[in-house]
């Protein structure tokens, strides 16, 4: 019986692994995402930044995998320069522990250069929370892969660059920022580009 179950488990695992999807769409209370199981990274994600109170902290929270979706996991981020970069920031959803926990799904996580994640990307997120004191924001992050994208031995693909589209809902205007997935050499303010598509 044990042999039969082991063979069955192996068959299911191989079958599931061979059926990785290019685009899986998931919507929850925090974000709307299209995720690539093949890349083990999001392709794009949308969230809303509003003037929320800060009631909880991220202390004790860590990223978690999702049932029935092949995502990256802790092994992809071990002993390298890649941070577990939030797309929808935890601090933006600090009004509720339930919402903040959702930001720690690997569906909301990118392989992001540690200096970008802890530097200009974080500073732009802080600026979003200044802007949303005046008006609500709709934010879409596009994640791009190309011939220079690194495939890790653990199976996930490292994005080459990101474009963040920020829509100011009251004033009906856009700001867009492009970041290469490397150590930044310019400030987030100097990373602004002309918005072409959203």
For residue 111, being part of any structural domain is answered with yes
* Domain tally, the chain: 1
pTM of this prediction? 0.89
Q: How confident is the model at residue 18 (pLDDT cuts 50, 70, 90)?
A: low
Range of the domain at 50: 21-193
What confidence tens digit (pLDDT) does each residue in 62-107 have? 999 999 999 999 999 999 999 999 999 999 999 999 999 999 999 9
For residue 3, being part of any structural domain is answered with no
Nearest C-alpha neighbor of 172 from the set 197, 138, 127, 142: 138
For residue 160, being part of any structural domain is answered with yes
Does residue 83 sit in helix, strand or coil? strand
For residue 4, being part of any structural domain is answered with no
Strand order in the sheet with 24-27: 24-27, 31-36, 41-49, 137-144, 161-168, 173-180, 192-193
How far is the C-alpha of 169 from the C-alpha of 166, rounded, in Å?
9
Does residue 169 sit in helix, strand or coil? coil
CATH of the domain at 85: 3.40.570.10
């Amino acid at each position: 019986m044990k042999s039969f179950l082991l063979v069955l488990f192996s068959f299911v695992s191989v079958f599931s692994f061979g059926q990785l999807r290019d685009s899986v769409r998931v919507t929850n209370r925090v974000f709307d995402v299209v995720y690539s199981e093949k890349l083990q990274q999001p392709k794009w994600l949308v969230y809303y930044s509003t003037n929320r109170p800060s009631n909880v902290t991220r202390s004790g929270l860590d990223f978690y995998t999702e049932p029935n979706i092949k995502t990256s996991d802790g092994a992809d981020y071990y002993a390298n320069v890649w941070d577990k970069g939030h797309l929808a920031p935890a601090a933006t959803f600090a009004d509720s522990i339930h919402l903040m926990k959702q930001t720690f799904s690997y569906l909301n996580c990118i392989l992001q250069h540690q200096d970008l994640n802890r530097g200009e990307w974080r500073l732009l997120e802080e600026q979003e929370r200044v802007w949303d004191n005046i008006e609500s924001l709709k934010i879409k992050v596009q994640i791009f892969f190309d011939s220079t994208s690194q495939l890790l031995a653990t199976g996930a693909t490292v994005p080459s660059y990101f474009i963040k589209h920020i829509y100011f809902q009251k004033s009906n205007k856009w700001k867009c920022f492009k970041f290469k997935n490397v150590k930044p050499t310019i400030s987030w303010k100097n990373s602004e580009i002309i918005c072409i598509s959203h």
